[in-house]
Structure 1
Amino acid sequence: MSKKTKENKKTEKKNKGKSKVVKRILIALLIVLMLAVVGIYCAVGYYYRDKFYSGTTINGYDCSEKSVDYIKEIIKKEAETYALTIKERDDKQDVVQAADIKLTYKDDGELEQLLKDQNSWLWIFSLAKNKNYEVSLDNSYDEASLDTVISSLACLKPENMTAPQDAYLEDTGEAYQIVPEVEGNTLDQEKTVKAVKDAVNGRKEEVSLEESGCYQAPAVRQDDTALTQERDKLNALTTMQIVLDFGHGQETITRDLLKSWLKKDDAGNYYFDEPTVKQYIIDLSTVYNTKGKARDFVTTGGSTVHLTGGDYGWQLWQDKTTESLMNTLNAGQSTTLEVTWLYKAQKHDGNEIDGTYVEISISQQHMWFYKNGSLVVDTPVVTGNPNTGHATPAGGAWNLKDKKSPFTLVGKKPDGSIDYEEPVTYWLPFNGGVGIHDLVKRDAFGGDIYLSNGSHGCVNTPFDAVQMIYNNIEVNTPIVVY
C-alpha cells in the first residue's frame, strides 16, 4: 500500500466521522423543535381549556378568548340593565325596566356545554374560520311583577283608549260619500300581554304593538268593496233628473224624494217602494185633477155662472202614471215623463171649456152647440120635469160619454121592471142615464113645457138639431148645464 493511498483512507474516515456528528446534531435539533411545537400546541390547547376560540361569537357577543365566567358576568350585567321599549301608536311608548320585573340571568349550564363541545385540543382547526353560535340564554323574571307592569301600562288604561270606528256612508246633501274609518288605539289585552312577554323572553330591546297586531281594527274600511258598491248604487239611484209633465205644470222629483222612496230588502239590495211612489202620485192628483171642480162659465148671453158639479175636467190615471214612473226609476233614467190622464179636458189652463162645447140653459129651455168657436146649433129644448122629480141635473159640466144611433131608451120602475121603452135615432149620454136625444112624438120645444110635460131628465131636442150635433161632436166634449 502506498503512502498516498493510506492518507486518502485516513481522510475518508475522518469525513465520515464528521457527517455522523452533523446528523446527530440535526436529529437533536429536530427533536427539540418537535418538542417545542408540541409544547406550544399543548400550551395553546391548555390555554383554551377554559376560554373560547378567537373569532367566537355567541348570540352576538364577542367571546374571543373569553372565559365562561367572564361571559356570564357580561350577560348578567346586561340582564340587570335590560329595558324593553314598547312602541305604540301616535309616537307614544312605554318602557319595561329589568328591575321592574326582577329580571336576572338564568344560568342553565349551556355555555359550559358549548365550551366543552369546543374541544380545546383541536384549536388548530379554528384558525380557518370564525365560530358563530346561537344558544338559549334564559332570563329569570317574576311573572307576577311583569303582569303588574303590563296591566299598569298607560296604553292599556280605558281612559287612554279610543275605540276604532268603521267607515260609513254620509249624505252631503248632494251625494253619498265614504267617511274613512278611525283606527283608534284600543288594544287587545291578551295579544298585548303575549307580545310583551315574548319580547322579554327573547331579550328584545323593543316591540311594536302595531306590528304585533295588538290593536283592535275597524271591521269596515273605506276601500271595502261592499261599501263602495253601496255608495255607487245610492248615488246612481238618487241623482236621476226626472220631471213629471202635467201639461199645465211640471213637478221635479227631487233627490230628497228619491231618497224617501228607497227601501232595502233582507239581502241588502235597494229598491224603490211602489206604494210610497203611488202615494206621491195620489197627492199630486189633488193638485192637478180638475174633474168635477167648481168653475166659472161665461154663457152665450154674456153672464157668468158658477158651476159646482159634474165630472168634466182632468183626472190623473194614478195606476198608469205610477207604472210609468216606476219603470223610469228602475231603469235609472233621467227624463221628462208625460203623465197619463184617465179623463181629459180641452185645455190645461183655467178655462178648460173653450171652443167646442154644448151649453144648455134650464131656465131658457135652450141649447147651443159651438165647434171651434163657431155656433153650429141654436135650438129650443125640453128638459126634465122638476115637478115629478125628474129635473135635469144642472149647475155643472159633464163630458159626453158616448154616441149611439139608433138607440132604445129604457126606463125602469123602482122594482126594476120596465116602465117604458122609447126608440130614438140619436143618443148622446153625458150623465148616467141623462143625455141629449130626439123624440119624434114631441112637436113643440122651449117655453114652460118642461114644467108640465117635461122629460124623465133627458134633453129632448128637435131632430134636425140633434142630428147636426151628433154629426159634429166627439166623445168627451163638455156639456154645460145651468
Structure 2
Amino acid sequence: MKKVVISGVVSLITLGLGYLGGVGYYAEKFTPNTSYGSVNIGNLTLAEAEKQINEAINKETITLTEKGKELGKITLGDLGVEVAPDEILKATYESQDPSQWVVNLFDGTEVKNVLGHNVTVDSEQVKGALDKLNITNDGREKAVDAVIEYSDDKGYFVEPGQKGTEIDYDKLSAAIVDSLEQDNGKIELESVYADPNIGEDSEQVTKTMDYINQILDTKITLQVAGDDITIPREELQKWIHFDANNDLYVDEEMVYAYVNALNDKYSTEGKDRQFESTLQGTVTVPAGILGWSIDVDTEVQQIIADIHNGQDVTRKMAFYGVGNRLGEKDDIGNTYVEIDLTNQMMYYYVDGEVLVAANIVSGKYGTETIPGANAVIEMLYDTNLVGYNPTLKVDYKVPVDYWIRFDYQAQGIHDASWQWSFGGDTYVNNGSLGCINTPLDQVAIIYANITYGTPVLVFH
C-alpha cells in the first residue's frame, strides 16, 4: 500500500516538475501550436519566429494562370517579399501565459489576417519575375477609357470604359498579398488586368454629364412677333461640343442657321404688305424702308452666352430696322400715315382714329411718287428743299415750313405754297418731283403729332 502511494507521489512530482519546466521553457518562447497566418511559430523565440515567418513565406509558390491556362510559377522569394510582423506578433508573444502551455498542446493560438498588413511586395520586382517567365505587356490590349459620345438618336451618353489585357502590376502585387492572406497559391491574370484611367462612374465623367444635362435642361425662350419660342433640347444637343481640354463650346454655325431660319420666318424687312386702306379696301403695298429683322450677330452671341450660363431665361430677341414696332408681328399698328396715290388722299390715323384727312398732290409723270411701306426718318421745321429738277434741268431751293421725310429717295410730306389746288388730277399737270404736297394747315397738324418711326404707307 505504501509503495502505491509513494509511486503516485513520485509521478505527481515528476509531472509537476515537467509542467514547471515547461513554464520556464515557454517563458521566452511561443506556446505550442501558435501560428502566424499559415506559419507555425510554436516553440520559437520572437526572433526565431520572425525568421521562420520570412523563410516560410519566401518559399511560398504562386501559380499564374490566364483564361484557364497555367503560364508559370513564381516564389515569393523571387519577388523580394519582406514581412514585418510588427506589433501584432510582439503583442501576441507578450500576452501569452506560459502557465497555459499544456492547454495549447490541444488548443493552439492563431494570429489571423495579419499578412496583408505586414507583407510588402515590390511591383517592379513582380514585373521582373514575370518578365523571366516571358509574361509581359508587349502586344497586350490597352484599357479603353470611358468617353462621352453623341448620336442623333441617343443624344449625349457615356460609352463605358473597357479593360484590355495589360497587367496592372500594382494590382498583381496586391493579389499576391491577398493570396497569402487566403492561403491560396493561385492567381488568375484576368483579375489583375489594368482598369481604364477614366471609368464611367469617375468624377470627371459624372461632372461632365451633369453639366451637359444642366445645359440641355436650360429653357431659353425667345420672344418674337408675339410668339414664345423655346429652343428645343434636341437642338441644343446638336450645338454643344467639347474641345481637347474637355471644355464645352458651342457650334456658332449651327446657331446662326437656327437664328437665320427664325429671321426668314418672322422678319418684315423687304416684304410687301397687305393693307386695309380707307377707300380701296385691301391693297398690296410694295416693300419700302419700313420693317425689321432679327439682329442675327447679336442674337447668336447672346444665345451662346445663355447656353454657357445654364440658367432659364425668357427674353425679347435683338432686332434692328426702321419703324416704331420692331419685333412686332404687325409693325404698322393703328397709328400711321396712309397715302392713296390713286385717290390723291392722305390720312393720318392716331390710335385707330383719323386725325387728318387731306387732299394731296403727288409726283407727276416722269417723277412719280414711288409707292412703298415706309416710315418717318426725318422731320425739319422752316427749312429749304434743295435738289435738281430733271424736267426743267435746273437746281432748285424752295422754302417750306414743314418737312417730313419717309424714305431714302428724298421723298417726304411738306407744305407747298405754290400749289393752287390739291387732290383730284392736279398731279397730272402740276405734280411734284415725287414728294407729297400737302395743305399747310394739314401738314402742320401732322407735324405736331407725328413721331420718328411712324409708318407711312404709299400705294396706288
What TM-score range do you get, normalising by the shorter chain? 0.5 to 0.7
Q: Distance in 1 between matches of 2:240 and 2:188?
A: 44
Aligned to 2:378, which of 402, 411, 433? 402
1:365 aligns with 2:344: yes
1:380 aligns with 2:359: yes
Aligned to 2:210, which of 214, 232, 237? 232
Aligned to 1:219: 197
Distance 1:377 1:192, change over 3 A: closer
Q: Distance in 2 between matches of 1:295 and 1:193?
A: 80
Q: How far apart are 1:177 and its partner, in Å?
A: 5.0
Distance 1:216 1:459, change over 3 A: same
1:293 aligns with 2:271: yes
**Mapping of residues 316-395 of structure 1, within 5 Å:** 316-343=294-321, 344=323, 346=325, 352-387=331-366, 390-394=367-371
SS of residue matched to 2:237: helix
Moved more, 251-260 or 367-376: 251-260
Q: Distance in 2 between matches of 1:274 and 1:96?
A: 56
SS of residue matched to 1:251: strand
Give 1:464's aligned amino acid: D
SS of residue matched to 1:404: strand
Q: How far apart are 1:168 and its partner, in Å?
A: 2.3
Q: Kindly indicate whether the alpha-carbon contact (under 8 Å) linking 2:361 and 2:432 is maintained by their aligned counterparts in 1.
A: yes
1:445 aligns with 2:425: no
Query: Over the residues paired in the alignment, what is the CA RMSD in angstroms?
Result: 4.7
Q: How far apart are 1:253 and its partner, in Å?
A: 1.0
1:306 aligns with 2:280: no
Aligned to 2:403, which of 409, 427, 433? 427
Q: Kindly indicate whether the alpha-carbon contact (under 8 Å) linking 1:84 and 1:95 is maintained by their aligned counterparts in 2.
A: no
Spell out, residue by residue over 1:127-183, the C-alpha distance to the aligned partner (whole angstroms, 9 max, x if none).
Answer: xxxxxxxxxxxxxxxxxxxx9xx78x9xx9x9xx98743222255978755444333
1:182 aligns with 2:182: no
State the TM-score, normalizing by the size of structure 1: 0.60
1:458 aligns with 2:438: no
SS of residue matched to 1:309: coil
Moved more, 322-331 or 300-309: 322-331
Q: Kindly indicate whether the alpha-carbon contact (under 8 Å) linking 1:261 and 1:273 is maintained by their aligned counterparts in 2.
A: yes
Aligned to 1:102: none
Q: Distance in 2 between matches of 1:225 and 1:350?
A: 48
Distance 1:236 1:428, change over 3 A: same
Q: How far apart are 1:386 and its partner, in Å?
A: 1.9
Q: Distance in 2 between matches of 1:439 and 1:347?
A: 33
Give 1:166's aligned amino acid: D
1:468 aligns with 2:441: no
**Whose strand proportion is higher, 1 or 2?**
2
1:264 aligns with 2:242: yes
Larger radius of gyration: 1
Q: Distance in 2 between matches of 1:205 and 1:441?
A: 118
Q: Distance in 2 between matches of 1:281 and 1:477?
A: 27
SS of residue matched to 1:282: helix
Structure 2 segments unaligned to the other structure (5+ residues): 1-31, 33-37, 44-58, 74-129, 175-182
Q: Kindly indicate whether the alpha-carbon contact (under 8 Å) linking 1:358 and 1:367 is maintained by their aligned counterparts in 2.
A: yes
Distance 1:97 1:362, change over 3 A: closer
Q: Distance in 2 between matches of 1:220 and 1:248?
A: 48
Q: Distance in 1 between matches of 2:186 and 2:318?
A: 72
Moved more, 457-466 or 175-184: 175-184
Q: Distance in 1 between matches of 2:365 and 2:306?
A: 53
Q: How far apart are 1:360 and its partner, in Å?
A: 1.3
Q: Distance in 1 between matches of 2:434 and 2:158?
A: 70
Q: How far apart are 1:451 and its partner, in Å?
A: 2.1
Q: How many equivalent pairs are there?
A: 350
Structure 1 segments unaligned to the other structure (5+ residues): 1-54, 65-78, 99-146, 196-203
Q: How far apart are 1:210 and its partner, in Å?
A: 4.6
Q: Distance in 1 between matches of 2:251 and 2:291?
A: 30
Give 1:446's aligned amino acid: G
SS of residue matched to 1:314: strand
1:165 aligns with 2:144: yes
Q: Distance in 2 between matches of 1:370 and 1:327?
A: 42
Q: Distance in 2 between matches of 1:248 and 1:274?
A: 26
Distance 1:472 1:221, change over 3 A: same
Give 1:428's aligned amino acid: I
Aligned to 1:282: 260
Q: How far apart are 1:412 and its partner, in Å?
A: 4.0
Moved over 6 A (4+): 59-62, 172-175, 189-195, 347-350
Q: Kindly indicate whether the alpha-carbon contact (under 8 Å) linking 1:292 and 1:397 is maintained by their aligned counterparts in 2.
A: no
SS of residue matched to 1:425: strand
Distance 1:262 1:459, change over 3 A: same
Q: Distance in 2 between matches of 1:309 and 1:60?
A: 100
Q: Distance in 1 between matches of 2:370 and 2:334?
A: 23
Distance 1:267 1:422, change over 3 A: farther
Q: Distance in 2 between matches of 1:193 and 1:224?
A: 22
Give 2:238's aligned amino acid: S
Q: Distance in 1 between matches of 2:310 and 2:172?
A: 54
Q: Kindly indicate whether the alpha-carbon contact (under 8 Å) linking 1:367 and 1:380 is maintained by their aligned counterparts in 2.
A: yes
Spell out, residue by residue over 1:190-224, the C-alpha distance to the aligned partner (whole angstroms, 9 max, x if none).
Answer: 999999xxxxxxxx97331459x852432322343
Q: Kindly indicate whether the alpha-carbon contact (under 8 Å) linking 2:292 and 2:326 is maintained by their aligned counterparts in 1.
A: no
Q: Distance in 2 between matches of 1:225 and 1:257?
A: 27
Spell out, residue by residue over 1:425-453, the C-alpha distance to the aligned partner (whole angstroms, 9 max, x if none).
Answer: 11111111101011222222122222222
Q: Distance in 1 between matches of 2:240 and 2:427?
A: 60
State the TM-score, normalizing by the size of structure 2: 0.62
Q: Distance in 2 between matches of 1:258 and 1:297?
A: 39
Q: Distance in 2 between matches of 1:346 and 1:369?
A: 17
Q: Distance in 2 between matches of 1:319 and 1:194?
A: 60
